[in-house]
Amino acid sequence: MSDFKYEIVEEIAVLSESPKGWRKELNKVSWNGAAPKYDIRDWAPEHEKMGKGVTLTEEEMQKLLESVK
C-alpha cells in the first residue's frame, strides 16, 4: 500500500469516544493535498492512527443532511 498524506483542516465534532480513547469524529480532511472533504472515522487520541471511515463531498453532505430532516 502506498503512502498518503492527510491534513485535518477543520475539526467539526466528536460523535463518540471509546474507553480506550479513540474518538469517532466529523472533520474536514484534505487527502494528498486535494480539496478538503467531510470525513467520518475513528481516530486515535492524537490523530496518529485512524480507522476505516467515509468521506463525503459538499454535495453528498448536503444530501445526507436533507435526508435526516
| Per-residue pLDDT tens digits for 2-43 | 688 999 999 999 999 999 999 999 999 999 999 999 999 999
- CA gap 9, 21 in Å, rounded: 21
Question: Residue 1 pLDDT > 70, yes or no?
Answer: no
Q: Which pLDDT belongs to residue 20?
A: 94
Question: Residue 50 pLDDT > 60, yes or no?
Answer: yes
Q: So where are the chain's domains?
A: 6-67
| The CATH number of domain 6-67 is 2.30.31.70 | yes
More confident residue, 62 or 1: 62
35, burial (CB in 10 Å: exposed 0-12, middle 13-18, buried 19+): exposed
